[in-house]
Structure 1
Amino acid sequence: MDQFVEVRWFPPSAGWIKCNTDGAFFTFSSLAACGIIFRDSRANLIGCLVETVLAKSTLEAELLAIIHAIQIARRHGWMALWIETDSILAIRAFSYPSLVPCSLYVQWLNMLFHIRQMRFCFSHIFREGNGCADSLVGFSLRHIGYHWWLSVPSCIMTTYSMDRGKLPHFRVS
């Protein structure tokens, strides 16, 4: 019998920025994309983006989302960063860099060097709790390129409002 499990997005502690990332590779079109959203301790959006990327797999797209998120955070001076993703394999790559595809290995090692200079943590969240980043990736199917927002785009408004209101998302297990 199926069970419903509550999945909630939680904001970071004061002084931290939480960044949810997602990556996708669409076999049919060979298109890959990243969705990234940055929020503060009050769950306010401070920026989000979608970006079409060169990747040959979902894992490459997931890792590129993390790499790009850290690059953006460093450019903005956000030196206390919490990365959260629904990719368990991407999370494991922090401990096991050998999981990183050869094409991204140098970028990944550079990123690991940079996070040593930050207050940094990472975690896994089920897809249902990563809805903003997931919806951003979905947007990229219809709007190829790079899109940056400083206000909440309509494609994530419902999920963003649920997260801000501390409402649960449900996962069937």
Structure 2
Amino acid sequence: MANDWKEYLTLRELGVRSRSAPPPDYIDVHWWPPDLNWMKVNTDGSALGAPGRIFAGDVFRDHQAEVRGCFHVKGGSGFALEEELLAVIKAIAIAESRGWRKLWLESDSTYVVELLRKKLMEVPWRFLTSWKATIAFLNNFELRVSHIYREGNAAADIMAHNSRHEGW
């Protein structure tokens, strides 16, 4: 039962016993700043369709939660996984170019988090060269990788969605 009043009345008139749906589980979602001397980057991707135009956005913040940089990029056409990969590849390239060697990367894609943690090469072929370079960069980093729910990743989500509004 969907806990809808009309549905309840209909079922009652038909003599059907009903049970209410259990309440949803709630999870507290928090964004935490990184430790001193660490940089944290939240990454996100956005797609219009499947396949569709893909967009990525990242937000870099220091231990005081001050924004140290952000970007958004259009990535052509692709699928949801590709948008998330694009965001991570760009984030690590930027961190590497700026000399941020203690990096905490947070993504709302559990698959991308596992790819990074295990340094797996199971990515779409068109990203394979960039992904291999990204994994090679990680040898120069102290890296933390974590998953964050979409609700805690709002800043990166906004950056990814901003790419949509700049015309194609």
Do the structures match in fold with TM over 0.5? yes
CA shift digits 1:13-71 (9 cap, x unpaired): 00000000001221189211001000000000001111111341110110111011011
Q: List runs of 5+ in structure 1 lacking aligned partners.
A: 146-173
Any runs of at least 4 consecutive aligned residues in structure 1 with deviations exceeding 4 A, and if so which? none
Higher relative contact order (CA 8 A, sep 6+): 1
Instruction: Report the counterpart of residue 53 of structure 1 in structure 2.
Output: 75
Instruction: Report the counterpart of residue 162 of structure 2 in structure 1.
Output: 139
Q: Distance in 2 between matches of 1:68 and 1:50?
A: 9
Q: Distance in 1 between matches of 2:106 and 2:132?
A: 19
Normalised by the length of structure 1, the TM-score is 0.78
Instruction: Report the counterpart of residue 110 of structure 2 in structure 1.
Output: 88
Q: List runs of 5+ in structure 2 lacking aligned partners.
A: 1-22
Q: Distance in 1 between matches of 2:51 and 2:134?
A: 29
| 1:97 corresponds to which of 116, 120, 130 | 120
Q: How many residues align?
A: 145
Q: Is the 8 A contact 2:51 2:77 kept in 1?
A: no
Normalised by the length of structure 2, the TM-score is 0.80
Structure (1 or 2) with the larger CA radius of gyration: 2
Q: Distance in 2 between matches of 1:23 and 1:123?
A: 16
Identity percentage over the alignment?
Answer: 33
| 2:152 corresponds to which of 124, 129, 151 | 129
Q: Distance in 2 between matches of 1:56 and 1:109?
A: 19
